[in-house]
Amino acid sequence: MKLGLGLYRHALTPENFRFARQCGCTDIVAHLVDYFNGGAHGDTDDQPTGGTQGWGYAGDPDKLWSLEELQSLVKAAAAEGLRIAAIENFDPAHWYDVLLDGPNRKKQIDGLKTIIRRMGQAGIPCMGYNFSLAGVAGRITGSFARGHAVAVGVDGGDDTPIPNGMIWNMVYDPRAPKGTLPEISSDELWDRLRRFLDELLPVAEEAGVKLAAHPDDPPFATLRRTPRLVYQPALYQKLLDLNSSACNGLEFCVGSIAEMTQGDVYDAVDQYSRQGKLCYVHLRNVRGKIPEYREAFIDDGDVDILKVLKILKRNHFDGVLIPDHTPQMACAAPWHAGMAYALGFMRAALLTLQDQ
């Protein structure tokens, strides 16, 4: 198993690449979406939370990530001894009508195919995505973790309807007419996902790029009056069964699975890693389950992280593990300290497993 670090767009700097390498990382999971483009935010080193108005504004729908941009990212990481293991999340501006089944769907599917081809040309082997209308929404921030460290949590679901012009918790059209998204059924959203996979996976196979699906977080059955897809562990299998392509994989979030109300997190790790379907793993810890949970330090939640790693080793998972996010520590560099703590724990655990 490989140790990695996830970095938001503004944090893709030589200094943070060096920080990752100093912590023992070999890989980076890069976010090219700017989640902090407008909207109300606190410290941009921390993860975005936002409110009913979302995180901010999506990117330019007519400007896809270029091959030169992707190659420059790969080169910058390599200069610090790192690989780009994955890009995480499409820009909502590039696929809002894929999610909504809107009039620009075909054009946007073609754009996503172009992105996947460019990733293959740049040598980036994985594209993480979250097929969701509400996205990562409805979370709160507080001094929830050990020692009053600032962390993210959830207190019940959010039933606020999504305004027109917003998808995946970001505004893609600030000039959209007043009103809210029409309600759809769960079956309709699953059909949109199936069509997405059927159209993109052949291109992904040719490009040598895997598509990795993130589970819903927070994992409610509905959020902001929209259905969710993978809000229980067994629904990951439903997603895999939609298309048998070897490039149909999982961005496996241990924290999200632990927040779910059904199943067992260790059984889920075993089930999906035995199938060889884990593209990369978000390794974070939580306390509690939906409808109320709090993110915790990696050694202080409900999940036995070492047990998870032992299962992954037994099932020969050799991909990348990243902390995803972690509580902020009380010092001059809260995000860096929190990540260093999580990465140090993970590296020590991996070295321990090597001797077993």
> Which pLDDT tens digits describe the chain residue by residue (356 residues)?
999 999 999 999 999 999 999 999 999 999 999 998 875 555 555 677 666 677 889 999 999 999 999 999 999 999 999 999 999 999 999 999 999 999 999 999 999 999 999 999 999 999 999 999 999 988 899 999 999 999 999 999 899 999 999 999 999 999 999 999 999 999 999 999 999 999 999 999 999 999 999 999 999 999 999 999 999 999 999 999 999 999 999 999 999 999 999 999 999 999 999 999 999 999 999 999 999 999 999 999 999 999 999 999 999 999 999 998 999 999 999 999 999 999 999 999 999 998 77
Q: Enter the tokens of residue 151.
A: 């962390």
Q: What are phi and psi of 70, to 5 degrees?
A: -70, -40
The residue type at 11: A
Burial class (CB in 10 A: 0-12, 13-18, 19+), 62: exposed
CA gap 178, 164 in Å, rounded: 7
Parent domain of 301: 2-354
Which residue has tokens 């589970």? Answer: 215
Q: What single-letter amino acid sits at 334?
A: P
Q: Strands 278-282 and 320-322: what pairing?
A: parallel
How many Cα atoms within 13 Å fall on the side-chain side of residue 254?
32
Q: Count other Cβ atoms within 10 Å, centred on residue 147.
A: 10
Q: Is 224 left (phi over 0), alpha (psi -120 to 50) or beta?
A: left
What is the predicted pLDDT for the residue at 45? 59
**Number of folded domains that form the chain:** 1
Which amino acid appears at position 179 of this protein? G
**Number of helices (H), then strands (E), in the chain:** 10, 16
Sign, Cα dihedral of 327, 298, 233, 9: positive
Query: Can you give the CATH number for the domain in which 97 is found?
Result: 3.20.20.150
Residue 211's identity, in one-letter code, is L
The order of strands in the sheet holding 292-296 is: 140-145, 149-155, 292-296, 285-289
Contact call for residues 305 and 298 (beta carbons, < 8 A): yes
